[in-house]
């Protein structure tokens, strides 16, 4: 009987497993193979071993800049997104007026197309008629070339990305907050703990599993940043916003160096995988 139930379950899962194999496993294997080849779509793949990786790590100066920019973007977006998302979750979880409205308002950018969001922020950043420079003029402050200044362009992208992503993190933390029993806060209040103590010693420790998940998906999303870079800056000015995925796109679809782009993909996977393992060890160690 159990064997029959197992076979029935397997046949129900078979379509999903087949799709995963066709659209995930097989492409991953193909990309891994192409990373060791010289392949330009027009010509057949030619095995060259580790030459793509050698060029990436030792010779490609643009890739080094892209790696630095990606790390810069990640360090800028991840802490801000997590902290602001947690603060917003605490606020909308409290018994305040119009909290449903605020939840929807904060989450709305998440479900909005990133292309549309990027275009809107390009208008906001416009040096001639953008809203940000308009306010700076009203305050008698110098206007800025937000997306054309090498020093300002990445912080501008980070600000836009945090605004667009923070609502999703808020929802995750909100779910975690609503699963914390009120009895714990009541007991802490009886023991003389104030709201700050309750937050530090009850809320934060119980949100560690959520924080682990949030941290990992935020880091993965940051290392895969592309759409806003492609729409708003194209990797410029002076390669100040080119990222790993942007370089992957450029090599694959502008230069048609599919083997080289596959090597970038493999390196990106290794970076994300390593950071995920370190995150599990760090949060797991703290938890134990």
Domain with residue 134: its CATH number is 1.10.3720.10
Res. 103: pLDDT tops 90? no
- 154-163 mean pLDDT: 96
Q: What is the pLDDT at residue 192? A: 79
Res. 287: pLDDT tops 70? no
47 domain residue, yes or no: no
152 domain residue, yes or no: yes
Residue 252: pLDDT band (50, 70, 90) is very high
252 domain residue, yes or no: yes
Q: What is the pLDDT at residue 79? A: 96
Prior bond of 52 cis (ω within 30°):
no
61 domain residue, yes or no: yes
| Nearest-angstrom CA–CA distance, 217 and 81 | 11
228 domain residue, yes or no: yes
Q: Which residues pair with 38 in a beta bridge?
A: 46
| Nearest-angstrom CA–CA distance, 42 and 57 | 26
Count of structural domains, the chain = 1
Note down the domain range covering 73.
55-287
Q: Encode pLDDT of 119-155 as tens digits.
A: 999 999 999 889 999 999 999 999 999 999 999 999 9
Res. 43: pLDDT tops 70? yes
241 domain residue, yes or no: yes
Mean pLDDT for the chain overall:
90
- 90-99 mean pLDDT: 83
Res. 223: pLDDT tops 50? yes
Tokens representing residue 52 in the block: 């793509």
């Amino acid at each position: 009987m159990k064997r029959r139930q197992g076979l029935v379950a397997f046949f129900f899962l078979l379509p999903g497993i087949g799709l995963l194999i066709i659209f995930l496993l097989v492409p991953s294997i193909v990309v891994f193979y192409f990373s060791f080849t010289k392949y330009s779509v027009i010509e057949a793949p030619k095995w060259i071993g580790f030459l793509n990786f050698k060029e990436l790590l030792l010779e490609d100066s643009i890739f080094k800049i892209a790696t630095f920019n990606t790390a810069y973007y990640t360090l800028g977006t991840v802490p801000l997104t997590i902290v602001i998302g947690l603060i917003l979750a605490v606020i909308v979880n409290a018994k305040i007026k119009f909290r449903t409205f605020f939840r929807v308002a904060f989450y709305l950018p998440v479900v909005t197309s990133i292309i549309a969001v990027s275009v809107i922020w390009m208008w906001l950043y416009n040096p001639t008629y953008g809203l940000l420079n308009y306010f700076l003029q009203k305050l008698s402050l110098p206007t800025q070339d937000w997306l054309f200044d090498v020093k300002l362009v990445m912080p501008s992208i980070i600000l836009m990305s945090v605004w667009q992503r923070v609502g999703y993190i808020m929802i995750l933390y909100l779910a975690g907050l609503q699963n914390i029993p009120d009895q714990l806060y009541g007991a802490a209040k009886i023991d003389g703990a104030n709201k700050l103590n309750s937050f530090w010693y009850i809320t934060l420790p119980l949100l560690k599993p959520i924080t682990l998940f949030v941290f990992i998906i935020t880091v993965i999303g940051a290392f895969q940043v592309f759409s806003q870079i492609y729409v708003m800056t194209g990797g410029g000015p002076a390669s100040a916003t080119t990222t790993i995925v942007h370089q992957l796109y450029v090599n694959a679809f502008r230069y048609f160096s599919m083997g080289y782009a596959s090597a970038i993909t493999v390196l990106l996977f290794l970076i994300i995988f390593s950071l995920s393992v370190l995150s599990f060890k760090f949060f797991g160690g703290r938890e134990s």
